[in-house]
Amino acid sequence: HADAYINRLLPVPDAAHKRRMLKKGAQVAAQMGVTSVHNMDGDDEQAALYAALEAEGELSVRVYVPYSIRLETPFEAIEQEAHPLKTKYHTPLVRGGCVKLFMDGVIETYTGLMVDPYTDNPATVGESNYTVEHYNRNVVEADRLGLQIFTHSVGDGGVRRVLDAYALAQQINGRRDSRHRVEHIEVIHPADLPRFKELGVIASMQPMHAPPSVDDGDIWQFRVGEGRWPLSFAWTTIQQAGATLAFGSDWPVASQNPLLGVHNTLNRKPWAEGMPDHHLPLADTLLAYTRDAAYAEFQEGVKGQLKPGYLADLVLLSADIFSIPPEQMKDVHPQLTVLGGRITYEV
């Protein structure tokens, strides 16, 4: 009752207010050198807000908007509500055609689903938001309709269930260039490493989520235990196993500044002696944020690279990032951001 009372006191933003705030948010993204975002939480109403800004000439990023499939989402809504967004929103700046689900929660609260029990709480392996049958049914249906699927999964048990469902969809519907994605993959079981390549699944990861060292006060490492550290935020190992790696931010959970993410991939320290640091070369890191992120939304033929015939989406940085020491990467900032040849930010 208290929550309902408080909600009645809070102002309800109208569409015009939402558009103004969204415009400001898109401008902040442009200021950070971002030209494209994968929205990760959406529906027809959200997509319409982006489309309205685009129609007014005030949208400063390209947006890929999923339909959020929640626990309470009726099965029929996948065909009746999610699928139509693929054709309804298909403009230069706003696109639909994907769905988003949450397999599990987060490691910090023991809600990430693990294969084996948590080290500091052996009574639990975490939680799944869905029964296996419920999740699989949604995945098979979305895949049947030709939709791309994003699934949040942080624990190695959750990642396994997601990969199992994607494999089932291929078995039932036939294999196609689906590019389904697993979002986060904070821990992966070694047995599942080759499955990304085998299934054509994209590993979508966020460098800012990884604790840079074991001494920064983060509880994450102690939840999973030292035995799982080598395959924690293991983007290097996942890439070496043949997966396509796409980097992002998970904003507002972490900063949307991609240069801070680049900094983290270059400067992360081993959590214990003899363990991998999971550094990626700078070039590979940039590709995960650009070319391969475009591939992760079926746009590798039009953006993500600077080459003839591609969209003029680019950022001019304050330093030559290939010549500065890695520890200075966090101080680099955009001087100019261009979207389709239009300046969206300039110092």
Q: What residue type is assigned to position 42 of the chain?
A: G
Question: With contact defined as beta carbons under 8 Å apart, do 64 and 98 qualify?
Answer: yes
Bridge-partner residues for 100, per DSSP? Answer: 68, 150
| Sites in the chain below the pLDDT cut of 50 | none
The secondary structure of the chain, three-state, reads: CHHHHHHHHCCCCCHHHHHHHHHHHHHHHHHCCCCEEECCCCCHHHHHHHHHHHHCCCCCCEEEEEEECCCCCCCCHHHHHHCCHHHHCECCCEEEEEEEEECCCCHHHCCCCCCCCECCECCCCCCCCCCHHHHHHHHHHHHHCCCEEEEEECCHHHHHHHHHHHHHHHHHHCCCCCCCEEEECCECCHHHCCHHHHHCCEEEECHHHCCCCCCCCCCHHHHHCHHHHHHECCHHHHHHCCCEEEECCCCCCCCCCHHHHHHHHHHCCCCCCCCCCCCCCHHHHHHHHCHHHHHCCCCCCCCCCCCCCCCCCEEEECCCCCCCCHHHHHHCCEEEEEECCEEEEEC
Note the pLDDT of residue 11. 77
Vertex 183 angle, CA 37 and 69, to 5°:
85
Note the pLDDT of residue 74. 98
Report how far residue 153's alpha carbon sits from residue 102's, in angstroms, rounded to the nearest whole number: 7
Report how far residue 318's alpha carbon sits from residue 114's, in angstroms, rounded to the nearest whole number: 42
Residues in the chain: 347
Of the candidates 269, 280, 262, 279, which has an alpha carbon nearest to the alpha carbon of residue 321? 262
pTM: 0.94
Note the pLDDT of residue 153. 98
Report how far residue 143's alpha carbon sits from residue 69's, in angstroms, rounded to the nearest whole number: 13
| Mean predicted lDDT score pLDDT of the chain | 95
Note the pLDDT of residue 6. 62
Question: With contact defined as beta carbons under 8 Å apart, do 99 and 149 qualify?
Answer: yes
Note the pLDDT of residue 214. 82
